[in-house]
Every structure is written in C-alpha cells, then in structure tokens.
Structure 1
C-alpha cells in the first residue's frame, strides 16, 4: 500500500496513547500479582519500575527504527534488511506471533467469563458471538480499531479505576515490610515475569505508518507506558496490602476477587460489572493483534485481509472446541510469554542495531 493511500486511514498522534494502553493492559491485570509473587515475594513491586523503564527504551528504539526507514513498518524493514526470502519468512513468523497473542487474550477472557459468570455454559456460543464482533471491527479498518481502543480505555477509566479506591480502610501497609529481603536476581526474575503484561507494545511496529506525523506521537507513546506502569504498580501495592502473601497464593484472579468482596447499594456483584466493562477493552486489544496479523499477511503473503481474518478466526474456533485442558492453555500462554520476551528484548534491539549501522554506512 502506498503512503498516499495509507494517509487516508491514518489516526491522530494522541490516539497512540489509547492504542498502546489497550494493547498493554489486558486480562493479565486481573491476576498478574500471583506471577509477581513467585520470585520476589512482596518485594516484587520493585520490579515493575524496572520493566517500565525497559519498555520506555523499547518504544524509543521502535520510533528510531521506523523513522530511520522512511516511516515504514516492520514488514518492509525485514525485507529491506534480510532480503526477500528471509524477510518474508520473518514476516510470516510475526503474523503467527500476533495471531497467537490475540488468541491467548481471547481464550483467557473466555476462561474468566466461564469461571465467574457461566460455569456450566459451553464456550462455543459466546466464542462465535465475539468472533463475529471481532470480524466486524477488524474489517472496518485501522481507524475503527483506534476508535474501539479509545472507547474501551475510556470505559475502563470511568468504571474500573474508581474501584481501586474502594476498600482502602482494609489495607495493611505492614504487609510490604521488610522492604528488602530478596536478591537482585530474584527482583530481575520478577521483572521478567512482568514483561507478559506489556506484550502488545510491539504492534507499534506495524501501525506506525498509520499515525499522522508519527514524530509527534512519541510523547503520547511514552506517556502511555508511564501511565500503564503506574497503574500496574498501584494495583500491585493495593493487592499486597489487602492480602497476606499466603492468601494471595491461594486466590484465583486476585483483582476480581478483591472487587467481589466489595458491596455497593446498587451493585451486589461488582465483579460482573468489571468483567462486562472490560469486554470493550479486551475486544479492542484482540482486534489490534488480529489487524497486525492480517496486515502482515497482506504484505508478505499477498493474502487479502478479509480472507486472512476469516482463516485466523476459524482457527480460533477450532482450537477452542478441541482444546479444553487448562494445562495445555497454560503451556500456550507460557510459550507466548517466552516468544514475546525474545521479540521485545532481542529482535527489536537487533533491528535497532542494524538501523544504526545502515545509517552510519550511508553517512560515510
């Protein structure tokens, strides 16, 4: 697609804040605390700023990579740096990566619905309804996805954020002490487990050309990373002060469980409200991942986006019907976490180094 035609679908720079937020805050916000505790106990909150700072560096690298290559995306950069065949192979792998990430989010959200709302209900009917909704959003183009990200984030701001302020009288600050009883290695391992929550930030490599004046959007991208890091840190601290470490290890979906214990005059089951409101933002995150996969399939595999979208959603349905073991779903989630870790901390820096060498070579 030529740059002139891309400009018709470009979005305002400030929307990058909502696009990144929607991709970084997913279902993991409901249970990331359990993974954090495994390595560093209640000192794990110190790991979140470490991960957040590294994400700022990754965002800076992405902007340097794309801007130095004429405001293009990762699919064209791969073919430019690695040649036609290796570049296409890398692009095909990236297509699978984004599609796989979208599926993991899709399946984990279905698990929450089944656990809290409809324990006896088959997943197939609601999966089909969500798949139809996803097809409608993604087929509408990138501007539609940016719009749903905006409204999804806005709804979570209005309906979910205030819930963190409820129950402050039940917090115990002494749970956070002693402040330093774990090693630096344990804190780094905890920071590594936190990377899973930020996966989705790499979609910026795909939709970068769809941003009007991308250079102006960089401040919004860093603002989003800072806000998300602060949100994760506050949520983790509140959870740590609400539960003892022993209690937290036994609780399923700690954020929802804490909300479920709260009672309001008009809402006796607040977790139902949270799950329902999060649907908009979760759908936005999945749609963004699907669009990135379909965009890559169009550029590298010469496959029309509606066709690739239907194929991916069909695979979603097949896997959901035939794969129901929680252990296998956990295995897929762990694999996605490992792939995402190397994508962010190995592949992106590699592109950055190649970009700097290429730029130095041209200048000399």
Structure 2
C-alpha cells in the first residue's frame, strides 16, 4: 500500500549528521571502555578507529542500496519477493525493538545504581516510556529535533573531560600497536553494540529531502562519533591503568566523580540526568522505525503500533532484573548487531546488485 510522505514531514540533508551521531552515542559512551580492556588493553583507541572506519563502509553500502530502492522494505521485496521480504522486515523490526529495549533498561539500571537506589524500576521506567511514546507519535521531525538537542546540549559536558587529565599518565597508553590482529578484531566485535543505531536509516531514508545529498553528512556524523569514542578512550586509559580499567564498569562516569564545585559536589548526577537527552534518541529512532515499518507492511496506524511497542519495551522492567540479565541481553543484542551489520548488509548489497543487473539485462 502506498504511503506518500509530505514535504512538511521531511528534514534537510544535513540533519543526517545528527541522526547518525545521536544513534551511536547512547548509553554505551558512559562505560564502553572496559569491554575491550581484556582484549586489546591500551590499544583500545585504535580499535575505536578501526570500528568507526568499518561502520563508514557499511553506511556507504546502505546509501548505494537505498539510492534506487528508497527503504529496507522495498529492498527486501525486490531481492526476495514480498512474502520473504515481509518476514525479513519483521525480523529487522524485532531487532530494532531489542536494541531500544536494552538501552531503555540499561539507563534505568544506571539511575538506580547511581542516583535512586530505593526507587522501584517500574516507577522510573514509567516516566521514561511516556517521554519515548510522546516523542515518536509526534512524528519524524520531532524525533530529529530530539537528536539535534540530544547532541548539542550534552556536548557542553565535553569540557569535563579535561579534569581527569590532571591525574593522567601518558605511559598508560604505551607502547602502541602491542596487540595482535586477532585481538584487534575481537575488540571490534566487542565494540559493535556501541556503534549500533545507524541502521534505522534503512527506514527513515525517504524522510530526508534529497536523501542522496545527505550521504556526506551521514559519513561525517559517523566519523565524529569515532573520534569522540577514541578521544574518550585515550583519556580513560591515561587516567586508569590497565588493571583498573578491567574493573571500571562505568569508566566515563567514574572519571566525572572527581569533579566538584562549591555549589555542586556530585557532578556525576549532572552527567546522568543530562545524558537522558543522549539516550532518548537511541530509543526513539528504532521505535519510530518499527512503527513506520508496520504502517507500510500492514497499514497499521503508527499511534496504535507505537503504543504496543512502548508497552513491550516497558515490560522489560518486570522481566529483566539484575546486572547479569542485563549483560546477557547486551551480549545477545551485540551479537545480532554484529551479524546484521557486517554480514547481512553486505549480503543484501550483493543480492540486490545481482538482481538489479539481471533485471536490467532482460529489460534491455
């Protein structure tokens, strides 16, 4: 069924910078460092750069595919037929729901551990899910606006990264290139979850005016994310030694604990509450994308489908309890993301390319 997109629903090409960057800088930036500490140690900043470069290549493949097919639904239908294509799109929607759910649940875990240890999870989650639902039902332009402010306002906190440098030691990141390629690739695998989120462009691509012109902005957004991760990683390893990093679950937050002012002793509270604006886009983008997919596939009103998706995400507060369960879900979503980004997208690119070549051959 045809679902035309009005000009008033679209955003300018340069907003792809904020859409891509905001999707990649969610909850993981508060504690991504120790994920690769055991694999590559002080070479972790190199892994950040290699991961970022690989993501830029995947974004290039996505734009090449979407240039003619407009979104993932058309890509699936063109490559595999409508029936299999619908199943694959539903599988992608499930993946998006899981990725939103893990961000939602992890942020609530941070709030409980660092700020509100006596508050019930369902109570904290209620405020969060209401904000998510209100944002996504307001339309894609509102979601884009959240991505914009979710980058601009928290960027003021980057100044705080200078405080740990007073207690840093350059020798903590020496020597350089001291780990094998196998360890590097393992580190890239462990960092996949942090760079996830950009895949939603497979759905919202047609909501960008002259979307082909947004390619450079999407690439710049991803590069900016890569640089940010690498810089934070370098500062973290200069502040913590390698042994400390193995046990620093939320390394970025731990570094902000040393910051205090006469009128503000617990600066990490400012970071956690401000980070809500960073986390919100990483949930809203996949949730909105699921609503859009169901609207096209089954002509379901987004208002209804988004309510159901929001309830599913909110229900995680009752079924996913404790750090072990959250880590297991993180590992599951990270593995799914690894296969989808590095295996399925290149596979889909090849299939679509071959199918298009065959069709052009027989039509000529």
Corresponding residue of 1:64: 64
Distance 2:233 2:84 in 1: 42
Q: Deviation at 1:4? A: 4.5
- The equivalent position to 1:287 in structure 2, one of 280, 284, 287, is 284
Q: Deviation at 1:3? A: 6.8
Q: Deviation at 1:322? A: 3.2
Deviation sequence 1:101-157 (CA, Å, 0-9, x none): 101000000011011100111011121111111111000010010011101111111
Q: Deviation at 1:175? A: 0.5
Instruction: Answer whether contact 2:61 2:349 (CA < 8 A) is retained.
Output: yes
Give matches, 1:249-288, under 5 Å.
249-288=246-285
Q: Deviation at 1:358? A: 2.9
Distance 1:10 1:50 in 2: 33
Distance 1:231 1:76 in 2: 34
Distance 1:103 1:27 in 2: 12
Q: Deviation at 1:178? A: 2.1
| RMSD between superposed Cα atoms in Å | 1.4
Give matches, 1:1-364, under 5 Å.
2=2, 4-69=4-69, 72-158=70-156, 160-364=157-361
Instruction: Answer whether contact 2:78 2:352 (CA < 8 A) is retained.
Output: no
**More off after superposition, 2-11 vs 103-112:** 2-11
Instruction: Answer whether contact 1:79 1:86 (CA < 8 A) is retained.
Output: yes
Instruction: Answer whether contact 1:92 1:301 (CA < 8 A) is retained.
Output: no
Instruction: Answer whether contact 1:263 1:270 (CA < 8 A) is retained.
Output: yes
Scaled by the length of structure 1, the TM-score of the pair is: 0.96
Q: Deviation at 1:61? A: 0.5
Instruction: Answer whether contact 1:68 1:355 (CA < 8 A) is retained.
Output: no
Distance 1:3 1:308 in 2: 16
Cα–Cα, structure 1 residues 326 and 25, in superposed 2: closer, same or farther, change >3 Å?
A: same
Distance 2:120 2:217 in 1: 41
Q: Deviation at 1:231? A: 0.2
Q: Deviation at 1:274? A: 0.6
Distance 1:103 1:283 in 2: 12
Distance 1:168 1:265 in 2: 21
Instruction: Answer whether contact 1:6 1:209 (CA < 8 A) is retained.
Output: no
Instruction: Answer whether contact 2:295 2:302 (CA < 8 A) is retained.
Output: yes
Cα–Cα, structure 1 residues 115 and 299, in superposed 2: closer, same or farther, change >3 Å?
A: same
Q: Deviation at 1:219? A: 0.9
Distance 2:81 2:218 in 1: 30
Distance 1:93 1:311 in 2: 17
SS at match of 1:77: helix
Count of matched residue pairs: 361
Distance 2:353 2:164 in 1: 51
